[in-house]
């Protein structure tokens, strides 16, 4: 057998071909062990930049050593799935407009795991992770050659930009690692840092999440700080600004291909239309309209809080009645932000 044929039939190449066949846009392989970014992550936590995200404190030992979450695992198959950076900007971040990416990607990683077991002819210990465990996925992705850490903290790939999800499949199979991505291709560009409305970047590659619009509209459970409310503008859920301005996305981001990530009808229209629709929901309609959506994370009270804030920023006299009705919302948090919005419109 020639070297070329042997290479073509290698398990690593077969794994990658199968991953691409499942619809993933990027795939790389790396070994497990101590993580280079662990010290920086711990320092970030200690600085208070994680805000209310206490769950990030759990499993620190496993984050520091990626071989610990799955005993016996030695390799990580790291994948990326594009979610449509060419879609128009809007009141909801692109990643959250369709079905929950956790469900979509986990199902495909499970399928890749089953295929690997079938190829091996025996059970293989392994587990897929999509932003749900003590794993530094971004670090593994860089080690697997998928991209570099941009100044906005997102992983940037030179072929498709940064509008993609990262998933990892940890397995107890010894696979040859790809070369890590060593280059920093941001250069002297600071467009992402300069564009942030809330000045959330402490320095390049260091984000104070407590100032980030994505954090304020998704992770924060209480009131949005008054000094940040105007800066949210028309953003109901999440923020893409630091990605929108990145030259790598301007040039290389991809059209949406995954049907399950396409925008739901409930999110049609501009910021005012979406905000009014959300403020009119009760718990039952919220559960119905956002079933299987990542936007459930904010719960109805969080989305309604955001919607009221948005109407205070971009609303008109035609939105006063909606906000007045929200003053009687059963959630005091929503009523508080509706009152703020009415004062903002009056001003």
Q: Which residues are catalytic?
A: 131
Phi/psi-derived region of residue 80, left when phi > 0, alpha when psi is between -120 and 50, beta in every other case? beta
Signed CA dihedral, 165, 168, 169, 174: sign only: positive
Half-sphere exposure of 164 (CA within 13 A, CB side): 32
| Separation CA 333–CA 218 (nearest Å) | 14
Cβ–Cβ under 8 Å, residues 323 and 345: yes
Q: Over 171-237, what HEC string results?
A: ECCCCCCCCCCCCCCCCCCCHHHHHCCCCCEEECCEECHHHCHHHHHHHCCCCCCHHHHHHHCCCCE
C-alpha Rg value of the chain to the nearest Å: 22
Segment (H or E) for 273: helix 271-279
Secondary structure (3-state) at 345: helix
Q: Which residues contact 238 (CB under 8 A, 6 or more apart)?
A: 92, 93, 95, 96, 213, 214, 217, 218
Any bridge partners for residue 203, and if so which? 206
């Amino acid at each position: 057998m020639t070297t070329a044929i042997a290479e073509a039939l290698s398990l690593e190449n077969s794994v990658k071909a199968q991953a691409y066949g499942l619809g993933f846009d990027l795939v790389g392989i790396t070994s497990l062990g101590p993580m280079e970014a662990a010290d920086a992550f711990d320092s970030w936590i200690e600085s208070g930049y994680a805000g209310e995200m206490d769950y990030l404190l759990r499993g620190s030992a496993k984050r520091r050593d990626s071989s610990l979450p799955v005993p016996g695992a030695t390799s990580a198959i790291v994948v990326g799935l594009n979610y449509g950076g060419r879609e128009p900007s809007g009141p909801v971040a692109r990643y959250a407009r369709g079905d929950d990416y956790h469900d979509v990607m986990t199902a495909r990683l499970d399928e890749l795991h089953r295929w690997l077991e079938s190829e091996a002819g025996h059970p293989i210990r392994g587990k897929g992770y999509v932003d749900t465990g003590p794993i530094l996925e971004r670090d593994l992705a860089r080690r697997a050659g998928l991209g570099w850490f941009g100044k906005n903290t997102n992983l940037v790939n030179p072929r498709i930009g940064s509008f993609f999800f990262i998933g990892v499949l940890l397995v107890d199979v010894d696979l040859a690692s790809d070369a890590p991505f060593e280059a920093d291709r941001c250069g002297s560009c600071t467009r992402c840092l300069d564009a942030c409305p809330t000045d959330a970047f402490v320095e390049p590659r260091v984000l104070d999440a407590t100032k980030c619009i994505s954090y304020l509209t998704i992770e924060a459970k209480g009131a949005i700080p008054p000094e940040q409310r105007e800066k949210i503008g028309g953003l109901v859920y999440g923020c893409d600004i630091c990605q929108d301005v990145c030259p790598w996305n301007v040039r290389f981001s991809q059209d949406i291909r995954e049907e399950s990530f396409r925008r739901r009808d409930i999110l049609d229209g501009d910021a005012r239309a979406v905000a009014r629709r959300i403020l009119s929901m009760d718990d039952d309609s919220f559960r119905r309209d956002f079933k299987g959506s990542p936007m459930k994370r904010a719960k109805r009270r969080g989305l309604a809080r955001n919607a009221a804030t948005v109407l205070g920023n971009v609303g008109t006299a035609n939105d006063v009645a909606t906000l007045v009705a929200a003053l009687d919302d059963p959630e005091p948090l929503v009523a508080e932000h509706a009152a703020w919005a009415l004062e903002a419109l009056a001003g």
